[in-house]
Amino acid sequence: MSKLKITAVKVLQLQGHGIQSLVKVETNEPELYGLGEIGAPAVMARAYLHHLGPKILGQDPLEIEMLNAVMTRLQSQFFAHWVHNPTVAGIDIALWDIAGKVFNRPISKLLTGKFRDSVQLYINTPGPNNWLDKRSCQEWASEIKADPHGWRVIKLGFERLLGRGLPENRYQAGYLSQMLTPTELRVIRLGYENCRDALGWDIDVIVHCHNEWDLPTALGIAEAVAPIKPLWLEDPLPVPYSETWRALKEQSPVRIMTGEKLELAHEFLQFMANEAIDVIHPDIAFTHGITGIRKIADLAELFYLPVVTHCVGSYVQLLATAHFGASCRNFVMTENRIPQGQLYAEMDENPLVVRDGHLLVPDRPGLGITLRPEVLRSNLWEGEAYWD
């Protein structure tokens, strides 16, 4: 262990996982390497590694906290403005993977010990084809209930109401502080009530927004969906903290959650210290990896706040999140993209075990992943080369 050194950092992007990419940290022991996931395209990560790479090559991969500081706080006093946090996140996850392999322990047992052997998952669904048609809602609900994974929590945005009850152009991504009228809010209420009637009360529902609404609209949505008893309203206001978030939390009849677009612990701290949030929603591929997300979760525990994780990446990110979730006392559940189907179970030589909506956390060393090269090679992003 005293002679272990980082020799290379390689990035690879696959089809089917949006903008995210995989990272491989190699050492001078050829069979000892770590895998991670970067919350950004490979081309961006490789460009940043021209700057970052020389600072970590030759370093001991087990000095994880120090290396995380080198990649973030020790770069510049203005680190928050230009450090590429998604790249740091992927490397940090890979370092923890190496550490688990060195000590022959799963990451969850290296961190705090396992509070749980499995983590609850929730899924994204666009909902019925026609939210205002009860038969369409019943058909959709039947498909959800028939899924062999046994999902118990779903997330629903109301985009499918656009053009079917709401004007087609009612929502435009990136347009901040948009508003909805009382008649439009009534359509939203009816749509969610139809979904709840079709699902029954054995499945919990999360209401999804995209950081787009003004305060009266956010409150209007919360009031419209309150009868279906959602777990929380996600991202109803523009991303940065302001007193508007606190006003929303104080007046809303349902829990308020945000965090997927925040990257730094002090960004989350603003929401916590000002009592402006009920649930935090960090993403391990953006928040400096396992090292960073643990700091955020520790802060949340001081304010008695539950942790729910955002996760729209590949199998690698899902298992990294699962190890964190198993080791985090105030963890509740994580998002996942298993229903999208592409490159999940087939990426790994080991089976993916999901029962009653819970993912079994691997007990193998590190992340517990053995990627199948033939699957990666056949699913490379256009123009990408395999990392060997």
Average pLDDT over residues 346-350: 93
Secondary structure letter of residue 164 according to DSSP: T
Q: Answer yes or no: same fold for 6-105 and 110-366.
A: no
- pLDDT, residue 18, reads 82
Contact of 312 with 95, CB cutoff 8 Å: no
List Cβ neighbours of 103 (8 Å cut-off, separation of 6 or more). 110, 365
CA of 323: how far to CAs of 29, 76, 317, in Å?
Answer: 25, 31, 10
Bridge-based pairing state of the strands 354-355 and 21-27: unpaired
Average pLDDT over residues 93-118: 96
Q: What is the pLDDT of residues 31-71, one digit of tens each?
A: 999 999 999 999 999 999 998 999 999 999 999 999 999 99
Contact of 95 with 61, CB cutoff 8 Å: yes
Exposure string for 42-81, b = 16+ CB within 10 A, e = fewer: bebbbebbeebeeebeeebbbebeebbebbbeebeeeeee
Q: What is the pLDDT of residues 269-323, one digit of tens each?
A: 999 999 999 999 999 999 999 999 999 999 999 999 999 999 999 999 999 999 9
Structure tokens at 46: 């490789």
- pLDDT, residue 77, reads 53
Contact of 222 with 198, CB cutoff 8 Å: no
pTM higher than 0.85 for the full model? yes
Write the CATH number of the domain with boundaries 110-366: 3.20.20.120
Where exactly are the structural domains of the chain? 6-105, 110-366
Average pLDDT over residues 104-133: 96
C-alpha dihedral, 125 to 131 to 133 to 134, nearest 10°: 60
When pLDDT is cut at 50, 70 and 90, the band that residue 79 belongs to is: very low
Percent of the chain with pLDDT over 70: 97
Give the neighbor-by-neighbor strand order of the sheet with 33-38. Answer: 6-12, 21-27, 33-38
Check whether 91 has a pLDDT greater than 70: yes
CA distance 155 to 208: 6
- pLDDT, residue 171, reads 78
When pLDDT is cut at 50, 70 and 90, the band that residue 1 belongs to is: low
When pLDDT is cut at 50, 70 and 90, the band that residue 345 belongs to is: confident
Exposure string for 102-137, b = 16+ CB within 10 A, e = fewer: beebbbbbbbeebebebbbbbbbbebbebbeeeebb
Strands (E), the chain: 6-12, 21-27, 33-38, 118-125, 153-157, 204-208, 233-234, 256-258, 279-280, 307-309, 331-336, 354-355, 358-360
CA distance 17 to 34: 20
Q: Please, what CATH class does the domain formed by 6-105 belong to?
A: alpha beta
Contact of 333 with 121, CB cutoff 8 Å: yes
List Cβ neighbours of 243 (8 Å cut-off, separation of 6 or more). 274, 276
CA distance 381 to 308: 30
When pLDDT is cut at 50, 70 and 90, the band that residue 76 belongs to is: low
